[in-house]
Structure 1
């Protein structure tokens, strides 16, 4: 059954979704009701092929939808941001693979991770595949997974120089490791380990990572839509950074709701404390600025692609810096909010602390590590091409 995008679902069922935040954390994955809301909202279809019920929406619509979901429940927003990007990549791959995934059910989810924690060994018609991966967000509700791997020799050792690929595998071929997701934040994402042991993968389910990053995969597939001319590391981080910004918005909402009638120990209402109100207002401005930066950045990149112009290395690097800085800025604002919430803000039944933990967990993702990308960005602004180790996620 095809599901069209329906933003009204998040309005009509938003408070229901918010109410599942603690339940998802306790469960260690999204509950079925949360998954139902995400499916009905159509967020996973925004970047999906139109042939399978998708809309190829403008990436700002995807980002804003992820922000909205994350503001209601951080874990749900994170899963939407991660899983929602995968159809964009899969549309660049073999039509036969797309039909395998979505032919019977175009609501099928595909999880990841991309880190090369496995090895593929070339064989007749494909590869033998083995590995152990961490951080497969939403994996309990997915029927396929995209995994990063190195190409190896006959003994399973990565060939030098390293050559990375993305490998797409059906649920029957991998094992989800239960109890492998015991973390401080984003517990409801169920980002568990997955294991593969000597599985055959046909060649059409594998793509070269360098070709994907360079745009060659899209060109070879004849994909000319602006969305497919956007570099991988401009679009993939968008879901993650949008989730972090949305989580910060959720923390702000929870704090304001809590402060509205809160009495301080000195007998005055919190709203009568000008210093606290100033700090929280400044934090709110920082979160709003982070949101604007993320949306403006991806809009500029999309507009460049839509105009048929090349997205330069400088634009990519500066854009990545903007994404990273937005995430750090938003989380710093959450720290300010929490520090003005009093001791009760840290009680486990207060959603403020859950948003705070989720925000920091999201910031810890490799995509939000600032050093190399910041260095690469300023080098491009100086007209110097950054070395490969600095530009790896640009």
Structure 2
């Protein structure tokens, strides 16, 4: 069934591309696109089979995200982010799984995980408040994973700090409609969301550390390789796949545009060896970015499938590879787009939208290289990274 999703995306290619233009204009995913993605089962690729999912291999998921993003960057981005949430819900409390998927297996979940909320313990659960930015695809989601800090009864943050992932229904949070006015990824509708004193029962709260180190999946009793994959390999996968796919989309449009273009010297681009060399080198880099990301997830899958638990050093190396793949892809299109001439800047040409959206993809926190590269290098030298160097790894 996994490859059937990709086939349906291909069959919808023209519509998805056109709706990507609409999404950029209205500042959120077009309603028609959300409907098509639900029909294709895009967001159910990593969902457990007992709740109507496909339990796809992560490589198949990544390849489908890339294809979607190459057609419609906003749809690909939402596929990559919203599409990972069913993977985590698969090892949440069965009661909340039933609440989310019991009546509609195509229910989508938003995020973000940044700990912008406060969870104060009360009888049976928590009193929960906060405001979060960057809730991608939130207009089409019925639930959300929201990050929070665990607090004491007096509202002070627990020491040492402990992060939580809170699962909350749409009825308990407000979407701030005018909060997404940006230069790139406009069509993702990544708006702010606000929660004010909502009650959250204990079973809808997950410990962040247990999610990241795999304890949550093991405690749930999951034995499938898919759900034993490290969070730091799975969560970034969709985001980086979308970024690479957007870059691939720019190349598709650049190739079409350049095929009939005459350069300022009066030479057809097809006969211009300088431009052809530069584009050829850049496309090879983009292809390498794609291949290394997919090989990275295959390598981690094989490790987990053999019954081994990835070490921190292995997880850090995986994150290092994933981050570098994103930067390599965007750097590649930065050598292609300027060689398309001044008319490629026009707003009626699709290349500018793909270029803007790809650069916006690099701004996601999961693509910040500093601490990831630092931690990976220390691990190789036999030093155990501490504190912030362990974040998101």
Q: What is the TM-score normalised by the length of structure 2?
A: 0.98
Q: What's the CA shift string for 1:214-234, capped at 9, x where partnerless?
A: 211111100011111111111
Q: C-alpha displacement at 1:33, in angstroms?
A: 1.2
Residues 140 and 190, structure 1, Cα contact 8 Å, conserved in 2: yes
Going from structure 1 to structure 2, the CA distance change for 1:200 and 1:5 (only over 3 Å counts) comes to: farther
Query: Structure 2: which 5+ residue stretches go unaligned?
Result: none
Equivalent residue, structure 1, for 2:311: 312
Alpha carbons 1:119, 1:129 under 8 Å: kept: yes
Superposition pairs of residues 263-282 of structure 1, within 5 angstroms: 263-282=262-281
Cα deviation 1:335-366 (Å, max 9, x = unaligned) = 11111011111111111111111011000100
**Which residue in 2 is equivalent to 1:30?**
29
- 2:359, 2:155 → 1: CA distance? 36
Q: For 2:8 and 2:364, how far apart are their aligned partners in 1?
A: 29
Question: Relative to 1, partners in 2 of residues 1:182 and 1:125: Cα closer, same or farther, differing over 3 Å?
Answer: same
Contact 2:65/2:238, CA 8 A, preserved across alignment: yes
Q: Equivalents in 2 of 1:3, 1:315: separation in Å?
A: 28
Secondary structure, counterpart of 2:382 in structure 1: coil
Aligned equivalent of 1:355:
354
Counterparts of 1:325 and 1:202, CA distance in 2: 40
After TM superposition, the structure 1 stretch with the greater mean CA deviation from structure 2, 309-318 or 319-328, is 309-318
Whole-angstrom CA distance in 1 between matches of 2:40 and 2:289 = 24
Following superposition of structure 1 onto structure 2, how do residues 1-394 of structure 1 map, counting pairs within 5 Å? 5-394=4-393
Could you tell me how far apart the structure 2 residues matched to 1:324 and 1:107 are?
30
Do the aligned residues in 1 keep the contact of 2:128 with 2:198 (CA within 8 Å)?
yes
Whole-angstrom distance in 2 between the partners of 1:11 and 1:199: 42
Structure 1 residue 3, shift from structure 2 partner: 11
User: Aligned partners of 2:348 and 2:161: how far apart in 1?
Assistant: 47
Unaligned runs of 5+ in 1: none
Contact 1:111-1:136 at 8 Å conserved across structures: yes
* 8 Å Cα contact 1:4/1:53 also seen in 2: no
Q: Which moved more, 1:268-277 or 1:175-184?
A: 268-277
Instruction: Give, in whole Å, the separation in 2 of the partners of 1:18 and 1:4.
Output: 20
- Alignment partner of 2:340: what SS? coil
Structure 1 residues 71 and 332 mapped into 2: Cα distance closer, same or farther (>3 Å)? same
CA–CA distance in 1 between the matches of 2:10 and 2:78? Answer: 19
CA distance in structure 2 between the partners assigned to 1:264 and 1:7 by the alignment: 37
Distance 1:155 1:253 in 2: 56
Give the C-alpha shift of residue 381 in structure 1.
1.1
Contact residue 181 and residue 190 of structure 1 kept, 8 A: yes
Instruction: Report how many aligned residue pairs link the two structures.
Output: 393
Secondary structure of 2:79 counterpart? helix
Distance 1:182 1:165 in 2: 29
Query: What is the deviation of 1:157?
Result: 3.0
Deviation track 1:210-260 (CA, whole Å, cap 9, x = no partner) reads 111121111110001111111111110000000011011001101001111
What value does the CA root-mean-square deviation take over the aligned residues?
A: 1.4
